[in-house]
Structure 1
Amino acid sequence: MKSGKLIGIGVGPGDTELLTIKADKTLKSVPVVCAPRSSSSKPSLALSIVQPVLDEREEGYEVMEPLFPMIEDKNELEGYWDHAADEMAQRLNEGMDLAFITLGDPTVYSTFSYVSSRLKAMGFEVEIVPGVTSFTGCAAASGIQLADKDEIIVIVPKVDERLAQILPHGDTFVIMKTSRHSDELERIISEDNRDKKVMSVQNCSMEDEKVFEGFASDKKYLSTTIVKFSDKN
């Protein structure tokens, strides 16, 4: 019997209508959908995004919700990733295709990479269906052109000393999850004397989306700040 295929599907930043046609089509046909949760007490945000699509299905499907906690201990995380990969391998060995849904795009800071590398090493076929990234969604919401001509875009996953080091070499900076480091971010950006436009977006494309000038001050997890520099004075 032929093994099933693992399909990583980017579901975009939050709005179901931002799913690609291919994602929609795949989600309506795969027998198993894997939707990781960050906590046993919290529902999967990715699953809530695709649920309207799944509700249109005529045939049944299985939903797997492995726990991928937001912790820093890599050794402990490895155990969660191993366990999830083993459970997914069971379904794939039964010949069932499996869709792993992830916010944004599977190739950008996604937990999909941790399980896909394990399953690929086991010999399973892996396919990726790209999705709208959070930072392009935030740029659209805030009306910022991320880049023109030969401008350099820098995507920053964490605010630390590296940002200050590379700041002079980029034109547009997209800083993810900024609510946890807004004071430090504002300090680093203020030290650059170029003219700049700063926009922040919280819960991009969701019903409670918030777009504003400046830096995020409240503790919304899904917060992104875009800093667009112009020529030095």
Structure 2
Amino acid sequence: MAEKGKLIGIGVGPGDSELLTLKAAKILETVPVVCSPKSSKEKESIALSIVRPLLEERKDYKRLMVVEPIFPMTEDKEELNICWDRAAFLVSSYLDSGRDVAFITLGDPSIFSTFSYVQERLKEKYTVETVPGITSFTACASAINESLVEQNQVLTIVPKIDDRLDDILEYSDSVVLMKASRNTKELEQSIESKNREKKIYSVENCTQENEKVIKGFSEDKPYLTTTIVKFEE
């Protein structure tokens, strides 16, 4: 019986292909299967667009297997579980044949990553390795030329706003609003009205050719928008 392949979750960073780690690049130069989820059949995976220049340099590029399971942009847990189960089954079929699979994901595999759902389903059956990547918010801090936190300051990463917001703003020194395209005017006004000195920056399409750094909140709010709020003592 053939030895099972290894599942490798690879963080490909925020957008610039040059920000791939050396380890990620080394694996992607030889791995026989790349799994790149996308939100719909019509859209190309952003993660795949980041690594494509590297993949196209491979001598065996035409033989490389690229699989693209659909992970729709929905909050319906039942539908998502079905999609994650399908993706895990698809990946396992390649692992069972003895082929390693690189599952690529934006940023880092351990932070709000689609990889984590497949990892959880397969880690008891297969060898799983994760390769960390540069996160969007650390790349954004570089873009605005500011540190995120210093000394004993507290950094809070917020994927979605809910009724915990007031406490978050009260006890955090820096707040990163992920997926800031979801920001509402009410949310922005709530942050701006807090009686604390603060700096607010938004970065659209960080590290990409159309990167845009804004003081304050983004008006256009493209999908890849991150907002950093730095409170000052």
TM-score tier by shorter-chain length is over 0.9
**TM-score, length basis structure 2:** 0.96
CA distance in 2, matches of 1:206, 1:197: 23
CA shift, 1:185, in A, is 2.5
Q: Calculate percent identity across the aligned residue pairs.
A: 57
User: What runs of 5+ residues in structure 1 fail to find an aligned partner?
Assistant: none
Q: Does 1:120 align with 2:120?
A: no
What residue in structure 1 maps to residue 172 of structure 2? 170
CA distance in 2, matches of 1:191, 1:151: 22
Residues 177-192 of structure 1 aligned to structure 2 (within 5 Å): 177-192=179-194
CA distance in 2, matches of 1:87, 1:95: 14
Aligned equivalent of 1:84, options 84, 87, 96: 87
Kindly provide the CA deviation profile for residues 110-149 of structure 1, in whole angstroms up to 9, marking residues without a partner as x: 000001111113x111000000000001111111210111
Which amino acid in the other structure matches residue 203 of structure 1?
N
User: What runs of 5+ residues in structure 2 fail to find an aligned partner?
Assistant: none
Aligned equivalent of 1:151, options 150, 153, 172: 153
CA contact (8 A) 1:179 1:217 kept: no
Q: Does 1:100 align with 2:103?
A: yes
Q: Does 1:71 align with 2:74?
A: yes
Q: Secondary structure at the match of 1:194?
A: coil
Kindly provide the CA deviation profile for residues 69-112 of structure 1, in whole angstroms up to 9, marking residues without a partner as x: 00111101111111111011010000000000000000000000
CA contact (8 A) 1:159 1:178 kept: no
CA distance in 2, matches of 1:196, 1:171: 9
What residue in structure 1 maps to residue 141 of structure 2? 139
CA distance in 2, matches of 1:224, 1:182: 14
What residue in structure 1 maps to residue 208 of structure 2? 206
Q: Secondary structure at the match of 1:25?
A: helix
Q: Secondary structure at the match of 2:232?
A: strand
CA distance in 2, matches of 1:99, 1:39: 20
What residue in structure 2 maps to residue 19 of structure 1? 20
CA shift, 1:184, in A, is 2.6
The number of residues matched between the two structures is 230
Which amino acid in the other structure matches residue 24 of structure 2?
A
What residue in structure 2 maps to residue 195 of structure 1? 197
**TM-score, length basis structure 1:** 0.96
CA distance in 1, matches of 2:184, 2:200: 12
CA contact (8 A) 1:159 1:184 kept: no
Which amino acid in the other structure matches residue 52 of structure 2?
Q
What residue in structure 2 maps to residue 55 of structure 1? 56
CA contact (8 A) 2:204 2:221 kept: no
CA shift, 1:188, in A, is 2.0
What residue in structure 1 maps to residue 232 of structure 2? 230
Q: Does 1:34 align with 2:10?
A: no
CA contact (8 A) 1:182 1:215 kept: no
CA shift, 1:190, in A, is 2.0
